[in-house]
Amino acid sequence: MNKSWILNKFSVQRQLLWNEVVDVTYILLIFNKSKFIVLTNLIFIYIGGNFIMTSAIVLAAGKGTRMKSELPKVLHPVCEKPMIMHIFEKLEASRIQDKIIVIGHKGEMVRETIGNGVKYAYQLEQKGTGHAVMQAIPQLRDEGNTLIITGDTPLIQEKTILSLLEKHQQANNDGTILITKFEDPTGYGRIIRNKDGEVIDIIEEKDANHEQRKIQEVNTGIFVFKNKSLIEGLPLIENNNVQNEYYLTDMVSILNKQNKKFGSYLLFDNAQVMGINDRKQLEQAEDIMRKYNNRFGCKK
């Protein structure tokens, strides 16, 4: 096959595709078959005119004590399937194949459920979301982007993940947060913006003052970071808060202080990111997923 023809064909693809997910390995192999072993492990996402290597860190170490169950929180079923498996399937559909699952409480049960084909990191002590992500860093590449998502958001949709990644890449952000709005934002971290409308901080509810608690724009717990910015910023997180935990949300203020670019993507369908912390919320999630049954394949 003529190399110039391949380049021309590839150029046409760049005009036709936008935030479509593709495996670029085949194209690269045409140029140099000797790199087959290495390149078959590099899956890229084509976003906004560029191929970007994207990883995912799934936070799945929580105990979920309010579930009042021996099961780890992320293994509670929604429509007869563990909630973390719904997330796993969305990542697979988005072709994010470099996945790191952070496990802790009864981690072996989670590992048995998910199986091989992913990487695992262990959070032996529950010291917050920032601390959980720190455990995954040794397995993260220096370059590319990383999606961070909690293991208890089974209603998230593939389209939302891809839109968030696209927004992050198009804006050339160092970090991007998925945000949403609730009429009653109780339990969620509040989004703090400056006079120009830029996200400059996230305040956890337990640390928020009376005025901040009135804010309806909230953190979903889902982020995208440039790997380099994430790796450099995490060690700067401190635990000087009410919970004495290392909050991943502190990365927002850290990047802003470093004059790095942080952005947001607003999700209007807040049901996709509702928190599942107890049996009542688990039932609500099941009802919502049944409404999504055509997309999620959940039987009525």
User: How many CB atoms sit inside 10 A of residue 143's CB?
Assistant: 10
Closest CA to 270 of 213, 224, 222: 222
Residues 6+ apart with CB under 8 A from 19: 46, 47, 48, 162, 163, 165, 166
Instruction: Name the phi and psi angles at 254, rounded to 5.
Output: -65, -50
Quote the distance between the C-alpha of residue 76 and its chain's center: 20
Joined tokens for residue 228: 């380099």
**Contact between residue 288 and residue 155 where contact means Cβ atoms under 8 Å apart:** yes
Element (DSSP H or E) covering residue 52: strand 50-60
Characterise 230 by phi-psi region: left (phi > 0), alpha (psi -120 to 50), beta (else).
alpha
Q: Please identify which residue in the block is written with the tokens 């919502």.
A: 288
Respond yes or no: is residue 66 known to be catalytic.
yes
Considering the candidates 66, 193, 213, 279, report the single residue annotated as catalytic.
66
Q: Where are the alpha helices (DSSP H) in the chain?
A: 3-16, 25-31, 36-39, 83-93, 107-114, 129-136, 158-170, 227-233, 250-257, 279-291, 293-296
Q: Report the alpha-carbon distance of residue 226 to residue 131 in Å, rounded.
A: 18
Q: Which residues are annotated as catalytic?
A: 66
